[in-house]
């Protein structure tokens, strides 16, 4: 499993090209600790539900304490994956993701890591300069508990256009 910056000598900005991906290939990221302040700040801007912004209300609510917004968790998972150097200059965006699930709440001071596995690699039929790479992303906390999963659909440039 590759971890952090790519061991292939590829820089984070450069990342992998379509030809570099294969089904079953795995990657892992370094960890990111989510603070209470980050949870509240994100939620105040994007998801101001009481269990994200109010310690008192959260303590008496369904989760028994403050939790991160699922959208913050999703954004953090993508940021960690991007920082690991897997995608970079060769990324041409994404048509979306499938199967997004929040499995367990993320709490203040949880440290999150992502593991990712390539599930499909398919050359574009209409645009020979790119391909589609489907990657299963799984985020865990410091206890190994699964907190988030999704199937990312990445459009990745080819290193060289096939003849």
pLDDT in tens, 17-30: 999 999 999 999 99
pLDDT value, residue 5: 40
- The per-residue pLDDT for 142 is 98
Are 21 and 91 spatial neighbours (Cβ–Cβ below 8 Å)? no
Domain borders along the chain are 2-157
Q: Write out pLDDT tens, residues 27-46.
A: 999 999 999 999 999 999 99
Contact 133, 121 (CB under 8 A): yes
Angle at 72 between CA 68 and CA 78, to 5 degrees: 135
Both tokens assigned to 63: 């989760």
CATH number 3.10.129.10 given to 2-157: yes
pLDDT of 88: 87
Mean pLDDT of the chain: 91
1 pLDDT tier (thresholds 50, 70, 90): low
- For residue 129, CA distances in Å to 2, 19, 69, 85 come to 26, 11, 37, 21
Which residue from 54, 135, 69 is spatially nearest to 102, judged by alpha carbons? Answer: 69
Q: In angstroms, how far is CA 37 from the centroid of its own chain?
A: 21
Instruction: State how far the alpha carbon of 85 is from the alpha carbons of 45, 101, 145, in Å.
Output: 28, 24, 24
Q: How confident is the model at residue 94 (pLDDT cuts 50, 70, 90)?
A: very high
Q: Do residues 18 and 90 lie in contact, with contact meaning Cβ atoms separated by under 8 Å? A: yes
Which helix (H) or strand (E) is 83 found in, with range? helix 70-83
Does residue 6 register a pLDDT over 50? no
As to burial, measured by CB atoms within 10 angstroms (0-12 exposed, 13-18 middle, 19+ buried), residue 22 is exposed
For residues 121 and 23, what is the distance between their CA atoms, to the nearest angstrom?
6
Confidence band of 162 (pLDDT split at 50, 70, 90): low
pLDDT over 70 for what percent of the chain? 90
Q: Is the pLDDT of residue 95 over 50?
A: yes
Average pLDDT over residues 59-82: 96
């Amino acid at each position: 499993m590759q971890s952090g910056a790519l061991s292939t000598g590829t820089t984070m900005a450069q990342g992998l090209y379509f030809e570099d991906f294969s089904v079953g290939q795995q990657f892992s990221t370094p960890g990111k600790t989510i603070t209470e302040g980050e949870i509240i700040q994100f939620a105040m801007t994007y998801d101001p539900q009481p269990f994200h912004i109010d310690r008192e209300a959260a303590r008496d609510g369904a989760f028994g304490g403050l939790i991160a917004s699922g959208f913050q968790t999703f954004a953090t998972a993508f940021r960690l994956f991007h920082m690991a150097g897997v995608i970079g200059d060769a990324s041409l965006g994404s048509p979306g993701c499938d199967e997004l699930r929040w499995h367990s709440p993320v709490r203040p001071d949880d440290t999150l890591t992502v593991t990712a596995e390539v599930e499909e690699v398919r050359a574009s039929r209409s645009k020979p300069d790119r391909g589609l790479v489907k990657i299963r992303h799984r985020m865990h906390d410091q206890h190994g508990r699964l907190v988030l999963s999704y199937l990312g659909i990445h459009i990745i440039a080819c290193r060289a256009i096939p003849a």
